[in-house]
Amino acid sequence: MNRNEVRQRALKARMALSPQLVREKSGIITARVISSEAYRSAGSIMVYVDFRNEVSTGTLIAHCLKAGKKVSVPITDIEGKRLIPSALLDYPGDLEPGAWGILEPKKDCLRPVDPGDIDLVVVPGVAYDKGGNRLGYGGGFYDRFLPRTKPGTVYLAPAFEAQVVDDVFPGPLDVPVHIIVTEERVMGNLKE
């Protein structure tokens, strides 16, 4: 197995989940995230907006807004291979389909946030190993973005059990996450 095979296999397993299972499991995962210390203590949170059977983040985003936390969502700069966090004030009103059809802030809702101001990043991913190593879609967007946050920023990955594998064959540029939350367990504090 190599990275691409792991990626294809994990994507297939995730896409095989029915909408109802995605909803149920996402609900369990979201409840765990909301009760976590990392979430409760974070004032500024960057959250991905789910697409294609990723763990859904709508409830989490709505909870952040209601709790008075500063929420930002990523804008993908494909040419620059960068992610730009943008503060969200209205969910989903501020959003429209952007890169690859993922919801992103509308032009008049662009409010860039300094990566150094973010306490918690809720990251998307395709597959994870138990050590927190992460395999994304292959663009390196999060691997470039995460090192721009401040020391102490927590990287948390909501994921379905079907995305947890023995080995993702991480490379030197792959940034691991600190916490993985699935519908069955929390694998935590994996990186200091």
Ligand X SMILES: Nc1ncnc2c1ncn2[C@@H]1O[C@H](COP(=O)(O)OP(=O)(O)OP(=O)(O)O)[C@@H](O)[C@H]1O
- How far apart, in whole angstroms, are the C-alpha atoms of residue 128 and residue 137? 12
Q: Which residue is nearest to ligand X (CB)?
A: 136
Smallest distance from Mg ion to CB 81, Å = 12
Q: Answer whether 101's CB lies under 8 Å from 129's CB.
A: no
From residue 58, how far is each of 28, 85, 138 by CA, in Å? 13, 17, 24
Residue 41: both structure tokens together: 């203590």
CA dist 107 and 72 (Å) reads 15
| Cβ nearer to ligand X, comparing 45 with 127 | 127
Query: Given the rule CB under 6 A, which residues bind ligand X?
Result: 135-144, 173-174
Name, in order, each residue with C-beta under 8 angstroms of 182's C-beta and a sequence gap of 6 or more.
29, 158, 159, 160, 161, 163, 164
The least distance separating ligand X from the CB of residue 31, rounded to whole angstroms, comes to 25
| Phi, psi (degrees; rounded to nearest 5) at 82 | -125, 155
Q: Residue 141 binds which entry of Mg ion, ligand X, none, with Cβ cut-offs from 5 to 8 Å by kind?
A: ligand X
One-letter amino acid at 161 equals E
Q: Smallest gap, in angstroms, from Cβ of residue 118 to ligand X?
A: 16
Query: Minimal distance in Å, beta carbon 51 to ligand X?
Result: 13
How buried is 10 (Cβ within 10 angstroms: 0-12 exposed, 13-18 middle, 19+ buried)? Answer: buried
Nearer to Mg ion, 91 or 145 (CB): 145
If the CB atoms of residues 167 and 174 are measured against Mg ion, the closer one turns out to be: 174
- Which CB atom, from 43 or from 116, has the smaller least distance to ligand X? 116
For residue 137, the partner it binds in ligand X, Mg ion, none, with Cβ less than 5 to 8 A by kind, is: ligand X
Phi and psi angles of residue 177, each rounded to the nearest 5 degrees, phi first: -100, 160
Interaction partner, residue 170 (Mg ion, ligand X, none; CB < 5-8 Å by kind): none
Binding residues for Mg ion, rule: CB under 5 A, are 143, 174
Residue type, 49: V
**The entry of ligand X, Mg ion, none that residue 139 binds, CB within 5 to 8 Å by partner kind:** ligand X
Smallest distance from Mg ion to CB 136, Å: 5
- The entry of ligand X, Mg ion, none near residue 138 (CB within 5 to 8 angstroms by kind) is ligand X
